[in-house]
Amino acid sequence: MVDMKARPFYLSDDDIAWVNSTIAGMSDEEKVGQLFFQLTASQDEEYLKELMQKYHVGGCRYNGMVGAKVQEQNHILQSYAKVPIFLACNTEAGANGACDDGAPIGSGVKIGATDNTDYAYALGKMSNEVASVIGCNMAFAPVCDIAYNWENTEIITRAFGNDPERVARMSAAYVQGAHAIPGFSCAAKHFPGNGQDFRDAHMANNVNYFDLEKWDATYGLVYKTLIDNDLDAIMAGHIMAPKIARAFNPDLTDEEMMPATLSPELMKGLLREHLGFNGMIVTDASHMIAMTDRMTRKEMLPTCINAGCDMFLFFNDPDEDFETMLAAYKDGTISEERMTEALTRILALKAHLGLHKKTVDELVPSKEAVAATLAKPEYKAMHEAISRDSITLVKYKDKDVLPISPERYKRIMIVYVKGQENWMSSIMKMMGMPAKMTPAEKLKERLIAKGFEAFIYESPLDKIKKQLEAGERPSLNIYFAGKNSIADFTKDMDLVITLCDVSSGRPQFGFSKGGGEVPWYVFELPVIAIGCGQPTMLADIPQVRTYINTYDSADDTLDALIDDLLTGPEAFKGVDPIDSYCGLFDAKI
């Protein structure tokens, strides 16, 4: 059923013998355990030991920690594993996806803006060099989705762009870089392809609307390129593809339509038969709504394996999920043939990585090796280079605005536009943790150092909040009667920088009308709008006449931005990797 001598495994006869003998010697519980990838919930040794000896899991991922702590946890896990396990990380934008003190390299959209595959290769190599030294052997990366829909906030900054050929080149370069690390693998995501639906699969259904012909020329091109580059594994997304599913099963009703993780038409028909993928398939996280809203969890677990997925990502309740899968195997819901096929691919990949031939200390290097690798200066240098080459001057209607200088624009007002606060920021506030310096404050600091008089705009809403915090009765006149003449509004500034720091969702402008938050005044004085998060801010402020995407607000990025602003339009090297005009004609005028 599985050709272990073919791509991507390339196993020797001895390796194949190990796979077969290991499967033959497994108990039912050990077989079922190999199907699970678990998200570790504790570093306690007894807990980690239980994962290995009670649940026999085939793989683990972990929550963020510093590298030394990840190394320690991974060493414990491998020391108790009867069969070496996959240890996975999310190094899709840098080594900070492997450990908290790992260096960022660049998000997919940022690297896409450089149009330089050398950077994508460096992302794969450098990120996973760190991942490997802390004991990881698999990246849940690259993100090889295609950003067709600007409203899809799930992958708009994570994908390499909206051009299938560029996404294919960049994704393949990432895999090649990761494969330069001995014993390291990639699980590309999210098959059959995210980026069309505006909805987030974590919270709602997600649909790929292409027919098979269109899919072959786009997402199929990407996955075929990766398969030809020996892609080890694919992460199946909770994404429906109704036209493609019906190409393999014309009798499917709407009610029978399933996301890829539960669809034999997409897993077996499209991925295995149509593309000829021989590697391992792992699901995306099983708590996401686009998977959980199709049937009961008790039905979902065996349905996923029977659909063609080899590994199931994350227990909900370990006892409950393990017993559900075990019962399905024992009563024949999961056949012996299907179980053996899944186990063969799981163990064949482990053999391909050489995990079965390594000691625990070889699987998880020493803490000294971790410290030495994290300290490498080339990671920071790479981030600086990508920042210099990615910043994109998207829109430039007022051709004489750039370059800026203290002689031309001495007084600069920075309008800081934020998005909806995420759950982590909310928790940090409730815990009283110190707030980090905002991108607006960093930008102000840099402008002052260059001789400008820069200040951050205070909105009417901010003023009312201050009154409330001081125990004062808020003055609604600040809002309702706070309008003034254009001359009064513009007299204290020579230029405005609207800095949009929106990582998810849409920008939040408060309730100000006629104030400074929304740049209504683009014909009254020069305005430069900058997106330092999502690159789609022109949808909400289409009237701005100069718009720049930096893709993040890291220190290196802001340093490069200041240099480009002072130099002029010719300094901006980035190419728009998406349609930053968001398909809106008014954003271009």
Residue numbers annotated as active site: 284
Q: What angle do CA 175, 361, 70 make, to 5 degrees?
A: 65
- Tell me, letter by letter, the H, E, C secondary structure of 42-76: CCCHHHHHHHHHCCCCCEEECCCCCHHHHHHHHHH
Per the CB < 8 A criterion, the answer to whether 119 and 106 are in contact is yes
Total count of residues recorded for the chain: 589
DSSP per residue, 406-436: TTT--EEEEEEEE-PPPHHHHHHHHTTPPPP
Question: CA-CA distance, 143 to 114, in Å (whole number)?
Answer: 17
CA distance 514 to 414: 16
Exposed e or buried b per residue across 285-311, where buried means at least 16 C-beta atoms within 10 angstroms of its C-beta: bbebbbbeebeeeeebbbbbbbbbbbb
Q: CB of 328 within 8 A of CB of 300?
A: no
HEC assignment per residue over 101-153 = CCCECCCHHHHHHHCCHHHHHHHHHHHHHHHHHCCCCEECCCECCCCCCCCCC
What SS3 class is residue 530? strand
273, HSE (Cβ side, Cα atoms, 13 Å): 11
The CA-CA-CA angle for residues 68, 74, 80, to 5°, reads 140
- Residue 97 backbone phi and psi in degrees, to 5: -85, -5
Beta bridge partners of 311: 282
3-state helix, strand, coil in the chain (%, to 5): 45, 10, 45
Residue 313 burial (CB < 10 Å; 0-12/13-18/19+)?
A: buried
- Return d(Cα 500, Cα 420) in angstroms, integer: 12
The neighbouring-strand residues paired with 143 are 189
* Residue 556 CB-half CA count within 13 A: 17
Residue 183: its H or E element: none
